[in-house]
Structure 1
Amino acid sequence: MFEGHDPYLVALSVVIAILGGYTGFGLAARIRGTPGVSHRVLLAGAAGFLAVGIWTMHFIGMLAAPIPADTVYLVLPTIISFLICALVVGISLFFVSIGEPSLRRVISSAILLGVGIASMHYVGMHGLSGNFTMEHDDSMVLLSVLVAIVAAYGGLRAFLARQDGIRLIASSIAFGVAVSGMHYTAMFGGHFVPLSGEGHHHGVSGLAASQQILSIVVAVLCFVIAAGFLLSLVPEPRRRGARDSAGETGALAPETDAAAVDVVSPQRDHAGPAAPRIVSAPLGGLGQPQRPAPVARLPLEGADGTHFIDTANVRSVRADAHYTRVHDGTRERMCPWSISEAEAQLDPSLFVRVHRSHIVAIPHVSFVRKEGDGAVIELDGPSPHRVPVSRAKIAELKARLGLARPHA
């Protein structure tokens, strides 16, 4: 049955699956940093775009297939197939977005999602009605379910990974190709068998839609997915521009004057209720501010409350709007502090701000390399990750790593 597919519609179905995956996982990657109502809105949006992408890809693939000309689509099974897809996607994302997802939970969610995607496909196939019946090869059915589970696992791993452009694009492409592979694997194992007898026609029971109507619905959903994809490319507005400018100035200024670094401005007041206030005290008769004692732990926000991590386990801190992301060598989690607040609270003998958006733990630096005008360093851990270094910070970083003598 795979022969005779329209190659342009096949290519479109793969592209739509990729765009839906990019938009959905792009929203899902922001869930952990947005508590409350925004968390639920992002979860619903991510599940919606992923479900629409998977469902639309399926029916574009159906339009591409050489199905009998008199085929109509029963509305009820078609709607149920979408609801199944949306439900299992939402449940899977919910399970991996609460608490700390273990490998067992991720695998269980992937199995649920994969079986749900396969169920959506076969329920949708059941919605085809005409003078034929559908037969499926058992081996191809099992293979299509396996492909769907693998696709779901890869997608959920992408959701749990750090959100950056290249990895998100690569994960979306892999997800789109895998979901499309599941569909066309199942189609390869399906066969239209004409009903015997010239006058014997399989009656249509229930509300049905023609291929023309389905084409219009699919076209509208393609527009929705494309619009969501384009909106996801628009950068978020840079709020609190004054604070960002102050953070950048602090990152580029030399740190030889410790007093200048220790001064705390009122701009850190937005860090949130979990962030303690910083009070500077004079040093004897010198009249210079003194840095408060470094904190031993950092607060991390989770769906079930606030957790704490020892600073000894922190590899890097990355600015994310007016919050930060703390990497522990395995993954990133949201911290309610701003990047300036984190810089002021961490031990300056162990941590250094190498970029306006990045702070790193010097003891965990395992690799450094010149790159363009700046540099890049790698932090150790079960999942090593790299951090950019601004040109203004290269000399200081080399001195802290023992690669060059600090300037007098």
Structure 2
Amino acid sequence: MQVLDFSHDPWLVLASLLVAMMAGFTGLSLSRGLSTRSVTYQKVLIVLSAISLGGGIWSMHFVAMLGLQLPILFYYDAVITLASALVAILVVGVALLILHFWKRTRYTLVLSGMIVGLGVVAMHYLGMSAMQLCKAVYTPMGIAFATVASCLLCVIAFAVAYGRRTQRNIVIGTVIFGFAVFAVHFAAIAGTSFVAVETQTEVGPLISNEMMAIGVVLTSFVLCGAFLLSGVTFLAPPEPEAVAGAVAEMPDVIVIPTASKRQIPYQKDGQTRFVDPASVAVIRAEGHYTHLYTRDEQLFCAWSITEAEKRLTPGPFIRTHRSYLINPEHVSGFERMKDNGVCYFETANLGKVPVSRSRLKPVRDSLGL
């Protein structure tokens, strides 16, 4: 069998890198802030993140394969091609479930990164096996290098993106993840030779390069749309300071707190007054009512703890216990017990708040632990 010469279209190589970057950003940013959401909501977004990351790995591979220029005509087996996409999505889904439903430690970060790294390699070689009338021939050294590089780069990407869930870390993790998928593909290709074969071993119907191009364009279009939607919501909208300043300069206008501002009402001296939620450190249930704790005061609020959580969501507060909501920005210390914890505050009449076992993980995530 004669080894075939091959080259790559540089524009499609660049396009494959962009696809990997978009997929990485979409998947990693979609899963931001899940610890404050319901379990059902977390599962839905993890599925979407897995589809974005896994589908992006698959799309990157076949965008690059469209740029592979060989002197013969070849096809892809549709069943094996589909299987390679499902493998990538399922493997990424397993890694995300570990990250979001297990205690997030250095071990789970490494484990998740290695799972995704192995998934990238598995998707690559399974996708390559779909080629018909052309056979890819590998070397043990090439496979070993691609596997080690994939695991190492994916571990770094997940450690950065999930070590601290800041916007900066997500962006850096996106770059590392996109480069990891891109580099592993071409590192594996560098250790691959191609030979022409006369027989076909297809499992399902064959796909030509033209049909593959249509499929890749459609998946890339969906990824672009998801990337744009994620990018729009990634950065918080600017505060309307100009409008607030203009109202403040009008002496005849009385500003009344509205539901859109989500001010918290409290009773004092026979009057209903309002406090900014950002200045409240803890909301504690007291029968059908609640007490608000700021740095200097303890205030009585007519809301129940359930109503307070409903009215202030989404917002800065997170439930730590059936009787407590806390603002993580005011936490001055945290102590882990056997199966629960305690948050410490420098507030009037309240020094610490219990953290129940079921709420321990989201509380730690909100504190960046």
Q: TM-score normalised by the shorter chain: which range applies? A: 0.5 to 0.7
> Is 2:126 the partner of 1:123?
yes
Distance in 1 between residues matched to 2:5 and 2:49, nearest whole Å:
31
* C-alpha spacing 1:56/1:275, structure 2 compared with 1 (3 Å): farther
Deviations 1:36-77 (A, max 9, x none): 211111111111100111110010111111235421110111
Deviations 1:104-141 (A, max 9, x none): 222222222211110111010000001x3221011111
> Is 2:52 the partner of 1:49?
yes
- Name 1:7's counterpart in structure 2: 10
Q: CA deviation at 1:28?
A: 1.7
Q: CA deviation at 1:30?
A: 2.5
- Name 1:209's counterpart in structure 2: 207
Deviations 1:63-96 (A, max 9, x none): 1112354211101111111111111100011111
SS in 2 for 1:133: strand
- Name 1:347's counterpart in structure 2: 346
* C-alpha spacing 1:202/1:40, structure 2 compared with 1 (3 Å): closer
Distance in 1 between residues matched to 2:114 and 2:330, nearest whole Å:
41
Distance in 2 between residues matched to 1:177 and 1:208, nearest whole Å:
30
* C-alpha spacing 1:3/1:192, structure 2 compared with 1 (3 Å): closer
* C-alpha spacing 1:139/1:105, structure 2 compared with 1 (3 Å): same
Distance in 2 between residues matched to 1:52 and 1:2, nearest whole Å:
29
SS in 1 for 2:177: helix
Q: CA RMSD in A?
A: 3.8
SS in 1 for 2:261: helix
* C-alpha spacing 1:320/1:165, structure 2 compared with 1 (3 Å): farther
* C-alpha spacing 1:86/1:240, structure 2 compared with 1 (3 Å): farther
Distance in 1 between residues matched to 2:5 and 2:121, nearest whole Å:
18
> Is the contact made by 1:29 and 1:160 (CA closer than 8 Å) also made in structure 2?
no
The residue type equivalent to 1:347 in the other structure is E
Q: CA deviation at 1:187?
A: 0.7
Q: CA deviation at 1:339?
A: 7.2
The residue type equivalent to 1:133 in the other structure is K
SS in 1 for 2:70: coil
> Is the contact made by 1:151 and 1:178 (CA closer than 8 Å) also made in structure 2?
yes
- Name 1:379's counterpart in structure 2: none
Distance in 2 between residues matched to 1:340 and 1:264, nearest whole Å:
23
* C-alpha spacing 1:14/1:320, structure 2 compared with 1 (3 Å): farther
> Is 2:142 the partner of 1:143?
no
Q: Any residues of structure 2 matched to 1:186-225 within 5 Å, and which? A: 186-195=188-197, 200-202=198-200, 204=202, 206-225=204-223
The partner residue of 1:323 within 301, 312, 316 is 316
Distance in 2 between residues matched to 1:192 and 1:94, nearest whole Å:
38
Q: CA deviation at 1:229?
A: 0.8
Q: CA deviation at 1:204?
A: 4.6
The partner residue of 2:77 within 74, 96, 117 is 74
SS in 2 for 1:100: coil
Distance in 1 between residues matched to 2:259 and 2:30, nearest whole Å:
23
The residue type equivalent to 1:278 in the other structure is H
* C-alpha spacing 1:341/1:129, structure 2 compared with 1 (3 Å): same
The residue type equivalent to 1:241 in the other structure is S
* C-alpha spacing 1:320/1:232, structure 2 compared with 1 (3 Å): farther
Q: Any residues of structure 2 matched to 1:4-403 within 5 Å, and which? A: 4-130=7-133, 132-195=134-197, 200-202=198-200, 204=202, 206-235=204-233, 241-243=260-262, 246=263, 265=274, 275-276=284-285, 277-278=290-291, 291-292=297-298, 321-324=314-317, 336-338=325-327, 346-348=345-347
The residue type equivalent to 1:190 in the other structure is T
Aligned residues: 287
SS in 2 for 1:193: strand
> Is the contact made by 1:93 and 1:156 (CA closer than 8 Å) also made in structure 2?
no
* C-alpha spacing 1:108/1:99, structure 2 compared with 1 (3 Å): closer
Structure 2 residues not aligned, in runs of 5+ = 240-257, 300-311, 333-343, 349-366
SS in 1 for 2:8: coil
Q: CA deviation at 1:241?
A: 2.8
Q: CA deviation at 1:322?
A: 1.1
Distance in 1 between residues matched to 2:218 and 2:316, nearest whole Å:
37
Q: CA deviation at 1:321?
A: 4.1
Distance in 2 between residues matched to 1:68 and 1:167, nearest whole Å:
43
